[in-house]
Every structure is written in structure tokens, then in C-alpha cells.
């Protein structure tokens, strides 16, 4: 009797890059105890990634004017969601948050342009276009504005004219 051995696949590894200091903006320095920050997040990171990897904040924590402290309020802004958090613990290399309040943004904000076949959406803080049928990204290129992605879509996907 032979037994069939199933190959085990290694779990997918995602490289998580640290948050850049240019993404952090001091929103309000209301008093001498706490501050409020707005952080423009990379689409590759999720709120769970921030909880699982507190060292993603190491570059921010080395900045004198943008380092987070305990009890600071932080608004994390993605294209499709916003998370409100309070810093629970912060040191020179990592930041840990209390439970985040995550809100989903309007659908209209996610697809600023669409036609019968294609739509423009954000990807990794840039814009690209997708075919609606099958939700397939039509190009590996991305553009800094949604208008540029729309123009590329209409130019590249238009039928050939004779």
C-alpha cells in the first residue's frame, strides 16, 4: 500500500516597506500633551500589517518633528478606507496602536472614471485602468493622476481607425 504525499506550499511572503516620513503630516499640535497626525498610506499596507509589524514606523520614529508619542491621535488614509487610531506605545523603532476604528470610503471615490468596458482605480498610490469583465488590470503602467490613466485607457484601448 502506497501513500500519496501532498507537497506543502510555502506561505506567500510579502515584503512590507517602512512608512516614509513624507507620508506623515502634523495636523494639529493642540496642547503640550498630545498631537494629531494624518498619514497617507501605501495601498500595499493594511491596518492588520500595522498591528503585526510595529517596526514599519521605524523611519518615522527617527524623525524629530514627526515621531509619534503615546496618546497621539493618528488618521491613516488609504484610497478606499480611513482608520482612526490612538498610539498606545511608541519608542525609537516601533509604534503600537489601540484598536483602530476603520471606516470605508464612498464607492464613487474608488473609481473616478468608467465607461461600459473599463474603469480607472487607484493602485499603490498611483492610478491604472481595469477591464470590468473579470476585473483585470489592462497594463502594468501606472499614472500619477486618474485623468492621465483615463487618457491612456482611451488612447490605448480605442479600436484602430482605418
pLDDT digits 0-9 by tens, 73-102: 999 998 788 999 999 999 999 999 999 999
Q: Single out the residue in 86, 104, 122 at which a domain terminates.
A: 104
Shared domain check, 96 and 152: no
Shared domain check, 120 and 69: no
Give the Å distances, CA to CA, from 148 to 32, 116, 121, 157: 44, 19, 12, 14
**The pLDDT value given to residue 57:** 96
Give the Å distances, CA to CA, from 22 to 64, 77, 82, 147: 13, 14, 18, 24
User: Which residues are 116's β-sheet partners?
Assistant: none
Number of Cβ atoms within 10 Å of the Cβ of 68: 24
State how many domains the chain has.
Answer: 2
Q: What is the pTM of this model?
A: 0.64
State which residues form the domain around 150.
Answer: 107-156
Q: What is the per-residue DSSP string for 27-45? A: EE--SSS--EEEEE--TT-
* C-alpha dihedral (36, 41, 45, 42), degrees to nearest 10: -160
Which range has the top average pLDDT, 4-13, 135-144, 153-162?
Answer: 135-144
Q: What tens digit of pLDDT does each residue of 14-55 get?
A: 788 889 888 888 887 767 788 999 998 887 889 999 999 999
Shared domain check, 113 and 91: no
Shared domain check, 112 and 100: no
**Top-confidence residue, 111 or 94:** 94
Shared domain check, 100 and 112: no
Amino acid at each position: 500500500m502506497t501513500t500519496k504525499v501532498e507537497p506543502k506550499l510555502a506561505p506567500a511572503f510579502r515584503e512590507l516597506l517602512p512608512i516614509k516620513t513624507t507620508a506623515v503630516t502634523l495636523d494639529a499640535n493642540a496642547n503640550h500633551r498630545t498631537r494629531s497626525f494624518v498619514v497617507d498610506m501605501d495601498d500595499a499596507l493594511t491596518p492588520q500589517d500595522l498591528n503585526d509589524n510595529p517596526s514599519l514606523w521605524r523611519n518615522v520614529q527617527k524623525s524629530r518633528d514627526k515621531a509619534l508619542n503615546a496618546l497621539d491621535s493618528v488618521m491613516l488614509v488609504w484610497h478606499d478606507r480611513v482608520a482612526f487610531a490612538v498610539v498606545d506605545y511608541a519608542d525609537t523603532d516601533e509604534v503600537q496602536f489601540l484598536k483602530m476604528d476603520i471606516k470605508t470610503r464612498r464607492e464613487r471615490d474608488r473609481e473616478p472614471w468608467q465607461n461600459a468596458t473599463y474603469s480607472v482605480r487607484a493602485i499603490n498610490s498611483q492610478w491604472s485602468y481595469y477591464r470590468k469583465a473579470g476585473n483585470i488590470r489592462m497594463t502594468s503602467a501606472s499614472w500619477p493622476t486618474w485623468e492621465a490613466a483615463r487618457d491612456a485607457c482611451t488612447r490605448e484601448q480605442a479600436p484602430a481607425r482605418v
